[in-house]
Amino acid sequence: MAAMNHTGLPESGARILLIDDERAIRRLLRAALSAHGYEVLEAASGEEGLQLAATQHPDVIILDLGLPDLDGVQVTRRLREWTQTPIIILSVRGSEEDKITALDAGADDYLTKPFGTGELTARIRAALRRIQPSGEGQQPVFQVDGLRVDVLHRIVSVDGQPVDLTPNEYELLKLLVQHAGKVVTHRQLLRAVWGSGYEEETHLLRVNISNLRHKIESDPAQPRYILTESGVGYRLKPG
């Protein structure tokens, strides 16, 4: 059975809002996404995109940062004032600072142009899986491959064997589980686990992530669960 989005439609029938001022990019993405069964809406400016987001209720928003009227980060912040619809940034801006700024503003994911349409559709599927159907809360048990996290009972196991985590390691893993498939920035992790005065303590975060990987990964040097987004943050492999 196909996975369902929050409108009750299969993933392949999801509505995608594409906000990009480059007509060639919109044409390319419309063809690629339509071939996967997605319904595609197009906007050539930030204001037009905000209007369509409000009236057409898309399942996922694909947003360029370099728009003619509003910066994509501004659009992201305005969207986040009233909606939690997943936002995937597509941009020629590939610096770590640009990625961090967009993700901290509320974007869920970030792809740098040029990109492969296969990778984009995979990110869309991951975003759709994170959407909870109306009236349903997050599942108390998360599982991907051999990793199992029971959030209700605070029990973590790998291949059936219990794993003993420190409180901070558990809180890091729980936060990544809650955003599985989404990039969580260093600042977001540090603020959530240690508090608002620790946003720049990246060494503290790296040490704890390293310790966590040694406990749950069969090969911490080549992790399969906690993936690094270099200079930006971490992403947990989606279930």
Task: Look over the chain and give the mean of its residue pLDDT values, rounded to a whole number.
Answer: 88
Q: Identify which has the larger pLDDT, 23 or 129.
A: 23
Give the CA distances from residue 174 to residues 46, 127, 170, 197, 237, in Å, rounded to whole numbers and listed in that order: 34, 18, 6, 21, 13
Fold of 141-236: Arc Repressor Mutant, subunit A (1.10.10)
pTM assigned to the model: 0.69
| Least confident window among 38-42, 84-88, 129-133, 192-196 | 129-133
pLDDT one-digit tens code per residue, 5-19: 444 444 558 999 999
The domain segmentation of the chain, as residue ranges, is 11-130, 141-236
Terminal-residue alpha carbon distance, the chain = 16
Quick check: 137 pLDDT over 60?
Answer: no
Q: How far apart are CA 171 and CA 95, in angstroms?
A: 29
Is a pLDDT exceeding 50 seen at residue 180?
Answer: yes
Higher pLDDT, 138 or 224: 224
**b/e string for 77-93 if b means 16 or more Cβ within 10 A?**
ebbeeeeebbbbbbbeb
What does each C-alpha distance from 219 to 92, 113, 216 come to in angstroms?
33, 31, 9
Could you tell me which of 238, 237, 232, 235 has the C-alpha nearest to residue 104?
Answer: 232
Superfamily of segment(s) 11-130: Response regulator (3.40.50.2300)
